[in-house]
Copies of this chain bind each other. A is one copy, B any other.
């Protein structure tokens, strides 16, 4: 089958390895509400990957992961610094405001959808003035919503600054696997060794049916997390089914293998476009997303051609076509997409 769906990395079928594992685990009687053994196994796998003790909580969605994690590390009267284009700011319908019960997101600018210390310093404000909210956390996306990523050094600079201000550092890692695969960096270096307090690590976009895991690098901070999950209806009785997917995802390097493939497909698209038509992606293609600024009519023509993709209407960048590749994208799909885009781009030029 010739697949043309590049809207996101959550429209493909789940990965067979993950489905198989979940099915196998579905034969046993099991303790409910995450007291099962599989959840314990996931925590062990993550401890090995991150080379430290962790508290890990399987959860259904990235929005829940982010919002519950931030509700845990950011306190009352809190202001959370994030990039203007971040998912928590743009695409989660105010979940952070809801779960923090009224914290404020302070949207900041930054190239490639990334924050740096200077920007955070300006956004920080003062913590002494009782007429103002106080900055309690910084949230960064790894990879970012524009497909770029922070180098270890960049995370470490932010982490060092947040520590110095007594502020939490949250990482939205819905595509963390793509960063590990692309950068070759050590997961520990990318996170707690660089000052990250909590990582929301996604598996759904890497092929799980629906499973993310919230990873705390300080068990003490996670003390009330399960209660927060219960209170918000996220503590499923058969939560082991999510754990089972994660167990398979982190087994035998499936998570990075799948991400490598997705990244390679995006790179292939990038190169094919440059060769055929000298179309340059709007942002450097560092993970599994390609953004294109097209001529006005090209967006509709491309949609009419049957290709499925999203048009992101960014406040500053204007409309951009976004193409996302996944573990399930095949080289042929990419080549045909490149041809279609090239043809339309030429016609519209």
Contact = CB atoms under 8 A, between A and B. Distances in A.
Interface stretch (A28-36, A40-48, A151-159): A28-36
B101 A102 contact: yes
Given A13-B28, A60-B60, A238-B14, A131 B91 contact: yes
A137 interface: no
**Which of A31, A68, A235 is the most central at the interface, judged by chain B CB atoms within 10 Å of its CB?**
A235
Contacts of A231: 77, 92-95, 98
Contact of A8 (B32, B92, B94): B32
A33 B131 CA distance: 10
Interface in A223-242: 224, 226-228, 230-239, 241
A103 B228 CA distance: 13
Interface residues of A, number: 69
A105 interface: yes
Contacts of A118: none
A62 B8 CA distance: 29
Contacts of A91: 131-132
B93 A77 contact: yes
A310 to B, nearest CB: 11
A65 interface: yes
Contact of A133 (B30, B61, B93, B204): B93
A121 interface: no
Interface stretch (A19-27, A165-173, A284-292): A19-27
A239 B61 CA distance: 10
A61 B241 contact: no
Nearest to A72: B76
A311 B86 CA distance: 33
Nearest to A134: B227
Contacts of A94: 77, 79, 102-104, 133, 231
Interface of A: 3, 5, 7-8, 10-14, 19, 23, 26-33, 59-65, 67-68, 76-77, 79, 90-95, 97-99, 101-105, 122, 130-133, 204, 209-210, 224, 226-228, 230-239, 241, 315
18 contacts: A12-B29, A19-B23, A19-B26, A33-B130, A33-B131, A62-B233, A64-B233, A65-B233, A77-B94, A77-B224, A91-B132, A93-B230, A94-B103, A94-B231, A97-B102, A99-B232, A130-B230, A204-B236
